[in-house]
């Protein structure tokens, strides 16, 4: 599969071919149809080495839309063929916003 990856600090990202990941029991595999790069990704691209605790290379983009293609044994209620959106980020899953399904406004962020 193709991924947009940061391969060096303070250098342009590049498209690279990477292996399709194996699905752990509590995970799902999503075929990405669209992805958004946000201001956080721009911060990564301009950051000097050591500014973030990440090992290079890594794939940019954490706002994803696509279709579930594989579900691990403990992957929850999702099924292959389900369309999903994924917004990765810190959430507490305990505050009122998270309990209402409004985790994008989590008060613990």
What predicted TM-score, i.e. pTM, was given to this entire model?
0.72
Strands across the sheet containing 83-87? 28-36, 63-71, 83-87
User: Into which CATH architecture does domain 2-105 fall?
Assistant: Alpha-Beta Complex (3.90)
Nearest to 75 by CA among 29, 32, 31: 29
Residue 86 CA: distances (Å) to CA of 11, 47, 50, 63:
27, 25, 27, 6
Tokens of 79: 């099924």
Whether residue 61 contacts residue 55, with contact meaning beta carbons closer than 8 Å, is answered with: no
User: What are 47's two structure tokens?
Assistant: 């950051």
Q: What is the pLDDT along the chain (109 residues), one digit of tens a residue?
A: 999 999 999 999 999 999 999 999 989 999 999 988 888 888 889 999 999 888 999 899 888 999 999 999 987 889 999 999 987 766 777 888 888 878 777 777 5
């Amino acid at each position: 599969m193709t991924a947009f990856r940061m391969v060096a600090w303070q250098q342009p990202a590049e498209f690279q071919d990477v292996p399709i990941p194996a699905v752990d029991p509590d995970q799902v595999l999503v075929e990405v149809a669209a992805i958004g790069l946000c201001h956080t990704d721009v911060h990564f691209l301009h950051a000097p080495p050591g500014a973030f605790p990440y090992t290079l290379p890594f794939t940019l983009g954490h706002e994803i839309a696509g279709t579930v293609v594989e579900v691990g044994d403990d992957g929850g209620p999702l099924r292959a063929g389900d369309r999903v959106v994924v917004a990765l980020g810190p959430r507490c899953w305990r505050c009122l916003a998270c309990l209402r399904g409004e985790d994008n406004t989590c008060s613990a962020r």
